[in-house]
Structure 1
Amino acid sequence: MNSFKSNSKLILLLTLLFAVFESQGQNREDQSEAEVKERPFQISFVPGFGTSKGPKEGYTNQFSLNILVGYEHSFDGAEFGILYNINKANISGAQFAGFGNTVGGNVKGAQFSGFLNTVNGKVRGMQYAGFLNVTAQEVQGAQFAGYMNLADSINGVQGAGLLNVSKKSIKGAQLAGLGNWAQNVQGVQIGGLVNRARHVKGTQIGLINIADTVERGVTVGLINIVKKGKLQFALEHNEVIDFNIAFRSGTNRLYSVLFVGSQAKEDDYLWTYGGGFGTEFKLKKNWNSSVELTTQSINPEGDHYDEINLLNRLSWNFGYQFANHLAFSAGPVLNIYVTEVYDQESGKYGNDIDMGSFYNETFSGTNVKMWVGYNVSIKF
Structure 2
Amino acid sequence: MHSKFIITTLFTFATLYSYGQTFIDGKEDEVIKERPFQISLVPGFGTSRGAKQGYVNRFSLNLFAGYEYGFHGVELGGFYNINKHNIKGAQFAGFGNTVGGDVYGAQFGGFVNTVKGKVKGVQGAGYLNIVSKEVQGAQLAGYMNLADSVKGLQAAGIINVNRRNLDGTQLAGIINVAKDVEGLQVSGLVNKAKHIKGTQIGLINIADTVERGATVGLLNIVKKGKHQLAVEHNEVMDVNLAFRSGTDRLYSVLFAGIQGKSDFLWSYGLGFGTEFKLKNHWSSNVEITSQSINPKEDHHEELNLLNRLSWNFNYQMASHLSISAGPAFNVYVTDVYDQESGRYGDDIDMGSFYNETFSGTNVKMWIGYNISVKF
CA–CA separation in structure 1 for the residues paired with 2:31 and 2:222: 54
**TM-score, structure 1 normalization:** 0.91
CA-based RMSD of the aligned residues comes to: 1.0
The alpha carbon displacement at 1:34 in A equals 3.7
Partner of 2:187: 191
Output the amino acid matched with 2:321.
L
Q: Does 1:126 align with 2:122?
A: yes
Partner of 2:75: 79
Displaced runs of 4+ in structure 1, greater than 2 A?
Answer: 31-35
CA–CA separation in structure 1 for the residues paired with 2:317 and 2:43: 74
Partner of 1:244: 240
* Match among 182, 193, 203 for residue 199 of structure 2: 203
Report SS of the residue matched to 2:60: strand
The alpha carbon displacement at 1:352 in A equals 1.2
Partner of 2:6: none
* Match among 288, 296, 301 for residue 301 of structure 1: 296
* Match among 268, 275, 278 for residue 270 of structure 2: 275
Aligned pairs for 1:22-33 (under 5 A) are: none
Output the amino acid matched with 1:143.
Q
* Match among 222, 227, 230 for residue 231 of structure 1: 227
Partner of 1:355: 350
Partner of 1:344: 339
The alpha carbon displacement at 1:215 in A equals 1.4
Partner of 1:287: 282
* Match among 112, 132, 136 for residue 140 of structure 1: 136
Give deviations 1:173-193, integer Å, cap 9, x for gaps: 000000100000000000100
Partner of 1:12: none
CA–CA separation in structure 2 for the residues paired with 1:65 and 1:32: 28
Aligned pairs for 1:48-63 (under 5 A) are: 48-63=44-59
Give deviations 1:28-67, integer Å, cap 9, x for gaps: xxx9854311000001111111111111111000000011
* Match among 105, 108, 112 for residue 104 of structure 2: 108
Output the amino acid matched with 2:87.
I
Report SS of the residue matched to 1:56: helix
Does the Cα contact within 8 Å between 1:35 and 1:58 map onto a contact in 2?
A: no
Does the Cα contact within 8 Å between 1:310 and 1:338 map onto a contact in 2?
A: yes
CA–CA separation in structure 1 for the residues paired with 2:141 and 2:104: 18
Partner of 1:66: 62
CA–CA separation in structure 2 for the residues paired with 1:105 and 1:114: 20
Output the amino acid matched with 2:92.
F
The alpha carbon displacement at 1:321 in A equals 1.1
Identity %, equivalent residues: 70
Larger radius of gyration: 2
Report SS of the residue matched to 2:365: strand
Give deviations 1:103-146, integer Å, cap 9, x for gaps: 00000000011000000001000000000000000000000000
* Match among 255, 259, 262 for residue 258 of structure 2: 262
Q: Does 1:171 align with 2:167?
A: yes
Output the amino acid matched with 2:276.
F
Output the amino acid matched with 2:181.
V
CA–CA separation in structure 1 for the residues paired with 2:280 and 2:167: 37
How many residues matched?
Answer: 349
The alpha carbon displacement at 1:324 in A equals 1.9
The alpha carbon displacement at 1:323 in A equals 1.7
Partner of 1:323: 318
Output the amino acid matched with 2:228.
Q
Partner of 1:216: 212
The alpha carbon displacement at 1:325 in A equals 1.2
CA–CA separation in structure 1 for the residues paired with 2:29 and 2:67: 19
Report SS of the residue matched to 2:52: helix
CA–CA separation in structure 1 for the residues paired with 2:173 and 2:114: 22
Q: Does 1:332 align with 2:320?
A: no
